[in-house]
């Protein structure tokens, strides 16, 4: 199992080349949310700027993906965008990394809108994740390797180790058939996987996703966006990563 070190000086601070590994060089990270549950508890700092083990959640997401070979980042920001962008730009560890902050005026419409705003800037293949999802670099590399089996199809990293899912009620469930997503959602009754929140989109999908958004086909939840894309763009691969490490901060 890959263990996530929570120390700022951990391996995610430096890229580690792996022979034969072909990285995905682009990534969209969603960081436009209102941190509503934190605000309800009296926490005024945006969730994406809260530290876990010495690293801000958004900072950790960038550094982890950067270690796996991502070179270009589009970060969608909405609520608290001035505060988020100002603090992120002041972080020394991130200096020299190509990071573009995309202001999403319609962020209150949900992740689908933020996703489309970020995806619009990429013509090549890219990864997608949320700023509050934490992965080990090994999990990301394993996922990227598995996408090479069908690089023309979008893919979702899933976990088959259901007994060890921390909060199944809040998890997005996935029903798979022969390696493809058959159904997905928090409320589905039959499932064999859970969604980890790490996605792959092939070359050309950025403009297609942006066009669907312009046509008004956007949904408010990440899982709903997945269902939309699966319907709009055909089959999705579901890749399993039991024994790999990931978590979310809620």
pLDDT digits (tens, 9 = 90+) for 208-239: 888 877 776 544 444 445 554 454 455 566 66
- For residue 145, being part of any structural domain is answered with yes
pLDDT at 25: 97
- For residue 212, being part of any structural domain is answered with yes
Q: DSSP letter for 20, please.
A: T
Instruction: Provide the residue range defining the domain that includes 233.
Output: 22-248
Q: Could you report the per-residue pLDDT of 18-55, keeping only the tens digit for each?
A: 677 899 999 999 998 765 555 555 556 888 999 988 99
Task: Tell me the CA distances in angstroms from 187 to 94, 174, 190, 223, one per residue in order.
Answer: 38, 10, 9, 11
pLDDT at 185: 86
Query: Taking 70 as the threshold, does the pLDDT of residue 58 lie above it?
Result: yes
pLDDT at 206: 92
Supply the CATH number for residue 214's domain.
3.90.550.10
**Burial of 82 (C-beta count, 10 Å sphere; 0-12/13-18/19+):** exposed
Q: Could you report the per-residue pLDDT of 133-188, keeping only the tens digit for each?
A: 899 999 999 999 999 988 998 999 998 889 988 889 988 899 988 888 888 888 99
- For residue 5, being part of any structural domain is answered with no
Q: Could you report the per-residue pLDDT of 110-131, keeping only the tens digit for each?
A: 777 888 899 999 999 999 999 9
User: What is the tally of structural domains in the chain?
Assistant: 1
Query: Taking 70 as the threshold, does the pLDDT of residue 241 lie above it?
Result: no
Residue 4 pLDDT class (50, 70, 90 cuts): very low
Q: What is the pTM of this model?
A: 0.83
Residue 17 pLDDT class (50, 70, 90 cuts): low
pLDDT at 10: 47
The DSSP bridge partners found for residue 200 are: 127, 155
Q: Could you report the per-residue pLDDT of 79-97, keeping only the tens digit for each?
A: 889 999 999 999 999 999 9
CB 203 within 8 A of CB 123: yes
DSSP per-residue string spanning 146-215: HHTTSTTS-EEEEE--GGG-S-TTTSPEEEEETTEEEEEESS-S--SEEEEEEEEE-TTHHHHHHHHHHT
CB 41 within 8 A of CB 87: no
- For residue 15, being part of any structural domain is answered with no
- For residue 13, being part of any structural domain is answered with no
Give the whole-number percent of the chain exceeding pLDDT 90: 44
- For residue 177, being part of any structural domain is answered with yes
- For residue 6, being part of any structural domain is answered with no
- For residue 4, being part of any structural domain is answered with no
């Amino acid at each position: 199992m890959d263990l996530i070190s929570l120390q700022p000086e951990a391996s995610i601070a430096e890229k580690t080349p792996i022979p034969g590994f072909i990285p995905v060089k682009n990534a969209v990270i969603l960081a436009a949310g209102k941190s509503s549950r934190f605000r309800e508890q009296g926490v005024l700092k945006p969730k994406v700027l809260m530290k876990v083990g010495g690293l801000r959640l958004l900072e950790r997401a960038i550094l982890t993906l950067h270690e796996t070979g991502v070179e270009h980042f589009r970060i969608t920001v909405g609520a608290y965008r001035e505060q988020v962008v100002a603090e992120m730009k002041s972080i020394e560890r991130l200096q020299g990394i190509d990071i573009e902050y995309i202001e999403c005026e319609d962020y209150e419409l949900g992740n689908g809108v933020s996703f489309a705003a970020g995806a619009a800037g990429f013509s090549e293949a890219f990864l997608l994740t949320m700023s509050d999802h934490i992965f080990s670099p090994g999990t990301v590399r394993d996922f990227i390797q598995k996408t090479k089996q069908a690089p023309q199809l979008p893919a979702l990293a899933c976990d088959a180790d259901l007994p060890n899912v921390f909060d199944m009620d809040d998890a997005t469930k996935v029903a798979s058939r022969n390696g493809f997503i058959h159904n997905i959602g928090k409320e589905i009754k039959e499932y064999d996987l859970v969604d980890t929140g790490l996605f792959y989109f092939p070359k050309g999908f950025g403009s297609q996703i942006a066009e669907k958004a312009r046509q008004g086909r956007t949904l408010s939840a990440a899982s709903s966006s997945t269902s939309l894309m699966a319907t709009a763009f055909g089959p999705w691969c579901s890749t399993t990563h039991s024994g790999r490490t990931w978590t979310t901060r809620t």
